[in-house]
Amino acid sequence: MLSQKGLRGISILLSKRIDSTKIKVMTVMKRLFSAPVLVGGLAALAAIALAAFVLVYQTRQQELGGAASSANVQIGGAFEMQDQFGNTVTQASFPDKFKLVYFGYSFCPDVCPTDLYILGQAMASLEETAPELANQVQPVFVTVDPGRDRPEVLKEFVVNFHDRMIGLSGDDQATASMAKAYRIYYNLNEPDADGDYLVDHSALTYLMGPDGLYRTHFGHGSDPEKMAETIRKIIRADRG
C-alpha cells in the first residue's frame, strides 16, 4: 500500500495555496489508495493525481465566483489553428483586440450552448452601452472535438451566438497544445453503439488582452451584464 508519508506528500502538493480544499483531496486520496498498488500502478497513480488536481482546480474556480485577478497567472500562449473559413489563425492574428475565448464542442448538449449564449448576451450589452469598446473585443470559440467539428460545422455553429465569433479547429496535436496553454481540461468519452460521444471539458470564458496575456475569466453560468461590466472596466483600465 502507498505509505502515509507518500499520501501526505501528494496531498500537500495538490492542495498548495488552496487550503480550503485540502480535506477534499485527502479524502479522495485515502479512498483511492485503500487497496494495494499493483504492477503498472505508477500510471494509475499519475492518472489519480491528475484527477485529484482537477477536483481541486474546479472547486477553486467555484470559490472564485467566475472572475479572478491576472496576477501571477500564466494562461495563453502560441498556437496555430484554422478558422471556419479556412484561414490560419495564430495568437498574433488580432493584435489590437481583446479576445473572449471559450473551449467546447458543437455537439455539446447543454453547457457550451449556455455559456456561448451568455457570451453573446454580454457582447450585446457591451455593444449597446459602449460600442466603441465592443469593437475592441473578438469572440473566439475553440473546439476540443476536432474530429467532428470541421470548419464547415463551426461555420454554422458559431453564427448562432454572435455574428463576429470565429470558430477555431486544428488537428489533435494543435488542439491539445492550445488547450494546455490555456489550462483547459478535456477528455473524449467512449462512443456509444451509434458512434455518438460526449466530451468532458472545462467551462471557462477567458478574457485575453491585446498583448495575448490573461486578464480574467468567467465561470459557467455567469451573469452577462456583470460580465459586460467587468470587460468594460478592464478595457478602460488597459487603455488608460
Other CB atoms within a 10 A radius of the CB of residue 113 amount to 15
Residue whose grid cell is 492542495: 15
112 annotated among ligand-binding-site residues:
yes
Q: C-alpha angle 103/105/235, rounded to 5°?
A: 30
Q: C-alpha angle 51/24/72, rounded to 5°?
A: 70
217 annotated among ligand-binding-site residues:
no
162 annotated among ligand-binding-site residues:
no
List, as residue ranges, the binding site. Answer: 108, 112, 201
List, as residue ranges, the binding site for Cu cation. Answer: 108, 112, 201
